[in-house]
Amino acid sequence: MYLIGNITLYLGIVIAAYTIIANVIGIRKQNNKWIESARGGVLSLLFVSLIASFLLLYLLGTSQFQFEYVAAYTSHNLPMVYKLTAFWAGNAGSLLLWTVLLSVYTAMLVFSKEKQNSMMPYVSSILSLNILFFFVVMILGGNPFAMTETIPADGKGLNPMLQHPGMILHPVTLYLGYVGLAVPFAFAIGALILRRMDAEWIKLTRRWTITAWLFLTLGNMIGGWWAYLELGWGGYWAWDPVENASFLPWLTVSAFLHSVMIQERKGMLKTWNISLVILSYLLTLFGTFLVRSGVLTSVHAFGSGPLGTYFLIFMAFMMLFSIYIVISRYQLIKKESIPIESYFSKESSFLLNNLILVAGAFAVFWGTMYPLISESLKGTKINVGAPYFNSVMAPILLLLLLLMAVCPLIAWQKATVDRFLKNAIWPFAVGVLAAIILVVVGVKGTFAIIGLASTVFMFATHVQEFLQGTRARMKATKENIAKAIYKLTRKNQRRYGGYIVHIGIALIAIGVISSHAYPEDILKTVERGENIAIGDYVLTFNGLTEQTENGNGIVTADLKVDYNGKNVGSINPEKIFYETWPEPSTEVAIKTNWKEDLYVVLSSWENSEKITLQVKVNPFVSWIWIGGGIMVFGTAIALIGGRTNSTGLLKAFRAGR
Amino acid sequence: MSKNQKIITALSLMAAAIIIMTFASMPSAGSKELTISDVMANAEKYDGDYIMTEGLLNKETVQWNADKIELQFEIYDENETKLPVVYKGVQPDNFTEDVIVIVEGFISKNGVFEAEKVMTKCPSKYEGEDMENYDSEMHKEIYKDAQE
């Protein structure tokens, strides 16, 4: 086993190196045989990485504790699903996961119907270079097949907090996003090397980029969801360096997804788009560097091994390489750029959106790196923390919401102010109405009210877009509403898919703004029969029970919940003592209704008559998860659509060549 | 000036505005990251500063007063310098012997750290290959590395 595992890793290095060389020779000599051979290399890479992965899965599944990795992250009594998903519980496994995903993506590309495309050898080389890097790193700094010196009787087991469906999905989805961004990067560089300044690379990678973005979105959402359910501090986002690392590429890819539309339609913003793709890709490496290097203080336990350094070196190399390619082609890019025709147009509004997203990315980057910057300038590490991020990002996100509210109403090329105002009046009125209602109802906090009203404005714009389209369709085709909405969306999936994503963001914004502005929080020690009153809730403590389940000791507090004076059942926060873990872990109890979560944590107890509870009322948090679901749905629609457009053009393009 | 240039100028101005805003909201929000030894040696100097520091927990020193909701404990660094901490709150999960505890707050004149925030370094084995040999020696080593 040990032998097979290690052989696959070394073979991986050799084959990846060969694939790059074969591609380069093939390109130089214009020789299809070499290219063909490189394709074989990619296929072998796929095989090798798959063998390594299945081997690791087998070792984990059968608890082969003579392997370090298996002993470190699993134990005998761990449920099978967590034994297998421990695959990505540690460094070495995550590296292997990354490698296998890259290999799958590369193989999919190299054997796709675009395989004769002249960009493909370049793409294949760049991706193989990435694969090579990961194989090397596994050998040097994170070998999943390393052996232990003495075989332990049982493994260390998986931290109970990580035994949660959210933690099965969160790392994989993020990796899928990270890895996916290598594809548009490879195409962009390939196109540049070939001096092909048309939008072909963008069309070919559109789905890859959207898929990667979808997974980044999912990864972040699931991470937040898990933190909220499992960690017991009542929040879902802490602006921790590790979280920021995955938020940064999300911001730049979001910008890219908008600005590519301009290049596709108008041929503008070429340099910008290429820079965004390169930046997003580099940020994925940068994020990994941050997570693995331990240069920043974070509540996430980093190993401070050499792994971070490898990523830093690779990132620096890729960065210099990309900069060189871009600069050497800059005159060409510039020559083929087309100027913007009007100040007031969708083009300019997209530019503004890009500016704000990138500025947001910069602000997050700056805040994340500030401890290092301040240390080198002033000698003391200064952590800026959540207050900085909240105060900087709030106005930036507000601007984004407002842009989302007006952008769909602005026409391409040259919009007229009259028409825009006519379209904007109703959504704007709805937004104002929302603000008035909030003030009348007695909601406090100017900024929150502005934020919520802007969100409503944005939501109304999108609803109006759907309604207008549907009405026009119903008039023209005599279809009923449901069919008209369906057909409307089907006919223009990219556009309406995008709108659905925006609607999801509106829900998330409502959740984020109100849970930040209006949280209620009580920390109190109560004896049996005593009450805790919070918001519209009154909780009565009825006693503490203890029982054993599957070898784990569970301490449960029983609390009766009254909502607005009416009994709505009970709520039971717990602490669980896991057999394999010295300290108990918190099981948060949450009661959700349409507008708020009652969030109860059993913090500690003196005896069965006296406990300390942390009780929170978090308004609209469940809307965040619903909004996330809607975003995924919208992205899926945009992803499925838009095929006819691009391949049709491509065919015409190729016929002409 | 062409339209393009004008638009680019306008956008650059906006970018500059946002960046200035970013810098402007910086100092008020910061916490100084220091070592325990530094905090204890220069308690006077850091009076009134919002400080972040980290150390290993001495489990025996943990005292919990449920009625006042007050937690007291000591953390220490690799020089064995001890920092007594008072926190008006409950202990976080995984608050166990030799776990790395991150505290944020103020140092008082009598050398007691008044914490506003107490966190344990993510207990997870996830992402932590150094956690493989989970013992206090290893912890101290990780800790030392982190300080360098």
Could you write out the three-class secondary structure of A593-657? CCCEEEEEEEEEEEECCEEEEEEEEEECHHHHHHHHHHHHHHHHHHHHCCHHHHHHHHHHHHHHC
B30/A392 touch (CB, cutoff 8 Å), yes or no: no
A607: contact with B, CB 8 A cutoff: no
The string of pLDDT tens digits covering residues A332-374 is 777 766 766 677 888 888 888 999 999 999 999 998 988 888 8
Q: pLDDT band at residue A650, thresholds of 50, 70 and 90?
A: very low
Whether A94 is in a domain gets the answer yes
Shared domain check, A167 and A261: yes
Which residues in chain A are contacts of B102 at CB distance < 8 A? 297, 299
Shared domain check, A332 and A183: yes
Residue in A with minimal Cα distance to B89: A523
Interface test with B, best of A380, A527, A580 (most B CBs within 10 A): A380
- pTM of this prediction? 0.90
Which residues in chain A are contacts of B94 at CB distance < 8 A? 583, 585
Which residues in chain A are contacts of B54 at CB distance < 8 A? 297
> Tell me, what's the pLDDT at A625?
97
B110: contact with A, CB 8 A cutoff: no
Considering only CB atoms, B93 lies closest to which of A232, A305, A363, namely A232
Shared domain check, A222 and A196: yes
Alpha-carbon gap, residue A92 to A199, rounded angstroms: 38
Pairing, β B31-33 against β B51-65: parallel
Whether A411 is in a domain gets the answer no
Alpha-carbon gap, residue B42 to B34, rounded angstroms: 11
Tokens representing A131?
């694969």
Compute how many other C-beta atoms are within 10 angstroms of the C-beta atom of residue A435. 18
Whether A639 is in a domain gets the answer no
> Tell me, what's the pLDDT at B135?
41
Mean pLDDT of A439-455: 93
Residue whose pair of structure tokens reads 């349409």 in the numeric block = A594
CA distances from B70 to A376, A521, B67, B116 (A): 37, 17, 8, 12
Considering only CB atoms, A525 lies closest to which of B31, B52, B67, namely B67
Tokens representing B32?
């100084």
Pick from A258, A249, A128: nearest CA to A183: A128
Whether A294 is in a domain gets the answer yes
Tokens representing A382?
């200064």
Tokens representing B137?
């020696």
Shared domain check, A170 and A152: no
**Residue A194 and residue A137 in contact, taking contact as beta carbons nearer than 8 Å:** no
Alpha-carbon gap, residue A152 to A284, rounded angstroms: 36
B93/A91 touch (CB, cutoff 8 Å), yes or no: no
**Residue A248 and residue A364 in contact, taking contact as beta carbons nearer than 8 Å:** yes
Alpha-carbon gap, residue A284 to A305, rounded angstroms: 19
Tokens representing B16?
């500059």
Residue in A with minimal Cα distance to B122: A300
Shared domain check, A74 and A97: yes
B146/A294 touch (CB, cutoff 8 Å), yes or no: yes
Shared domain check, A271 and A128: no
State the angle between helix axes of A270-293 and A307-328 in degrees (0 to 180), rounded to the nearest 10: 170
A301/B69 touch (CB, cutoff 8 Å), yes or no: no
Whether A548 is in a domain gets the answer yes
**Residue A424 and residue A406 in contact, taking contact as beta carbons nearer than 8 Å:** yes
Whether A595 is in a domain gets the answer yes
Minimal CA separation from B110 to chain A, in Å:
23
> Tell me, what's the pLDDT at A538?
95
Shared domain check, A99 and A45: yes
A377: contact with B, CB 8 A cutoff: no
The string of pLDDT tens digits covering residues A31-85 is 889 999 999 999 999 999 999 999 999 999 999 999 999 998 898 888 999 999 9
Alpha-carbon gap, residue A288 to A281, rounded angstroms: 11
B111: contact with A, CB 8 A cutoff: no
Shared domain check, A362 and A235: yes
User: CA-CA-CA-CA torsion for A573, A577, A581, A585, nearest 10 degrees?
Assistant: 10
Shared domain check, A145 and A60: yes
Tokens representing B61?
């020193």
The string of pLDDT tens digits covering residues A579-588 is 777 778 889 9
Pick from A237, A240, A239, A105: nearest CA to A176: A105
Residue whose pair of structure tokens reads 């714009």 in the numeric block = A461
Q: Which residues contact A51 (CB under 8 A, 6 or more apart)?
A: A4, A8
Compute how many other C-beta atoms are within 10 angstroms of the C-beta atom of residue A364. 23
Alpha-carbon gap, residue A430 to A436, rounded angstroms: 10
Shared domain check, A289 and A186: yes
Considering only CB atoms, A297 lies closest to which of B29, B102, B129, namely B102
A81: contact with B, CB 8 A cutoff: no
Mean pLDDT of A260-281: 88
A482 has a pLDDT exceeding 50: yes
Shared domain check, A136 and A185: no
B128/A343 touch (CB, cutoff 8 Å), yes or no: no
CA distances from B18 to A395, B10, B11 (A): 10, 13, 11
Q: What is the 3-state secondary structure (H, E, C) of A445-508?
A: CHHHHHHHHHHHHHHHHHHHHHHHHHHHHHHHHCCCHHHHHHHHHHHCHHHHHHHHHHHHHHHH
Mean pLDDT of A151-160: 83
pLDDT per residue, tens digit, chain B (148 aa), is 567 777 778 888 888 887 777 777 665 557 888 889 888 888 888 888 889 998 999 988 999 998 889 999 999 988 889 999 999 988 887 788 778 898 999 998 888 999 998 988 754 433 333 333 334 444 444 444 444 3
B28/A604 touch (CB, cutoff 8 Å), yes or no: no
Considering only CB atoms, A301 lies closest to which of B6, B7, B124, namely B124
By residue range, what is the domain housing residue A256? 160-336+346-366
Tokens representing A143?
């070998």
Q: pLDDT band at residue A657, thresholds of 50, 70 and 90?
A: very low
Which residues in chain A are contacts of B134 at CB distance < 8 A? 156
Domain count for chain A, please give it. 3
B1: contact with A, CB 8 A cutoff: no
Which residues in chain B are contacts of A159 at CB distance < 8 A? 123-126
Alpha-carbon gap, residue A239 to A219, rounded angstroms: 15
Alpha-carbon gap, residue A267 to A270, rounded angstroms: 7
Tokens representing A436?
């008035």
Domain boundary among A94, A129, A158: A158
Q: Name the region of B77 (left: φ>0; alpha: ψ -120 to 50; beta: rest).
A: beta
Among A104-108, A267-271, A285-289, A331-335, name the one with the lowest average pLDDT: A331-335
Alpha-carbon gap, residue A373 to A477, rounded angstroms: 62
Mean pLDDT of A141-156: 87
Residue in A with minimal Cα distance to B139: A303
Identify the H or E element spanning A384. none
Whether A231 is in a domain gets the answer yes
A301/B122 touch (CB, cutoff 8 Å), yes or no: yes
Strand stretches in A18-134, DSSP E: none
B120/A299 touch (CB, cutoff 8 Å), yes or no: yes
DSSP state of A536: T
State the angle between helix axes of A346-378 and B3-24 in degrees (0 to 180), rounded to the nearest 10: 40
Which residues in chain A are contacts of B119 at CB distance < 8 A? 299
B4/A340 touch (CB, cutoff 8 Å), yes or no: yes
Residue in A with minimal Cα distance to B12: A355
Shared domain check, A615 and A572: yes
A88 has a pLDDT exceeding 70: yes
Whether A384 is in a domain gets the answer no
Phi, psi (deg, nearest 5) at residue B97:
-50, 130
Minimal CA separation from A160 to chain B, in Å:
9
A162/B66 touch (CB, cutoff 8 Å), yes or no: no
